[in-house]
Every structure is written in C-alpha cells, then in structure tokens.
Amino acid sequence: MIKALLSALLVLVAVSSAFGKYIPKTGKRIPQTLSRGWGDQLIWAQTYEEGLYWSRSRNKPLMIVFHLADCPHSAALKKVIAEDNDIQKRLDEDFIILNLMYETTDKHLSPDGQYVPRILFVDPSMTVRADINGRYRNRLYAYEPADLTLLKTNMDAAKKLLKSEL
C-alpha cells in the first residue's frame, strides 16, 4: 500500500516537473546564442556599448560583424569564419568581438553605407578604423569567403593599436 502511494507520488512529481517549465504554444525552442553561429566557443559582446567597454578596459581591438539571418552572403562568410581555427583562435585571444543584426545609432560604423556582411574594426581608443578595408571598392568593408587571407591581414593591422594622444 505504502509502495503504491509512493509510486503515485513519484508519478505526480514527474508530471508536475514536466509541466513545470514554460513551453511556447509553437513548441520548445532552442535558446538563441550570442555567437549566432560565428564561433560558438568564443565570448561575444552583446551590444556595441559592451564591446567598447571591453575593448578599452582590455586594450584589445574590437571587431564588429554586421550580418543578417536570411542573407546568403552572410551565411557563407559565417561558415568559413566559424570553421577556420586560426581565425577563431585569434578572435578569442586578441580581439573583443561583436556580431550585430541591427544597425547601431553610431554613423561611424557605416562609413560607406549599411550593408551586410560588413566587418569594421574599432581601436581601443574608440576610433573606428575606416582605414582597414576589404577588396571591393563599392563596399569597402564587405568580405567574401575567398577573402579570409585578406581578413587575417586586416586583423593584424587592427592589432597595431593607434597611439593615443597624450
């Protein structure tokens, strides 16, 4: 009898814990990560303000990737960046990183317009490095999957920090 009661209790506990967590009408969702697939093992800043803060306090350049979920060019670039261990290691160790799907209010982050994918570097002195760009004249901050070597060269350039005026 006690055994039966205990069993019933166990079932009750199991049922109530199954119903314990909120589940959306449309079904369970996979929580969205800050990486959004650009490097799941890396530590991403959430906002531009946060990125600037970490860049200044750790004296590392900030790399910002603007992208969109339904943009095939963004997806192609994401794939090669996420799969390139050399870039992932450099981003992890030498950069503060941020990926954004919505533009900020800072116009310095769109020197030649708002498009995706677009990669901008910001010096710890909070200067946007508009001088570091890719190979396309009409979209200076765009990169294609074939441009990874140039991107690495540009990362090296961003690592040479600007002298802050004293």
SS3 for 120? strand
What count of other Cβ atoms lies within 10 Å of the Cβ of residue 43?
A: 12
Say which DSSP state 46 is in: S
Total of residues contacting a copy of itself (CB under 8 A): 33
Number of C-beta neighbours around residue 83 at 10 A: 10
Quick check: 89 binds a copy of itself (CB under 8 A)?
yes
Q: How far is the CB of 10 from a copy of itself (least distance, A)?
A: 22
Report in angstroms how near the CB of residue 40 gets to a copy of itself at its nearest: 5
Binders of a copy of itself among residues 106 to 165 (CB under 8 A) are none
Distance separating alpha carbons of residues 154 and 151, to the nearest angstrom? 5
Confirm or reject binding of residue 16 to a copy of itself (CB under 8 A): no
Nearer to a copy of itself, 99 or 154 (CB): 99
Q: In what order do the strands lie in the sheet containing 118-122?
A: 44-45, 96-100, 62-66, 118-122
Q: Which residues bind a copy of itself (CB under 8 A)?
A: 20-24, 28-29, 31-35, 39-41, 43-44, 46-50, 53, 85, 88-89, 92, 100-105
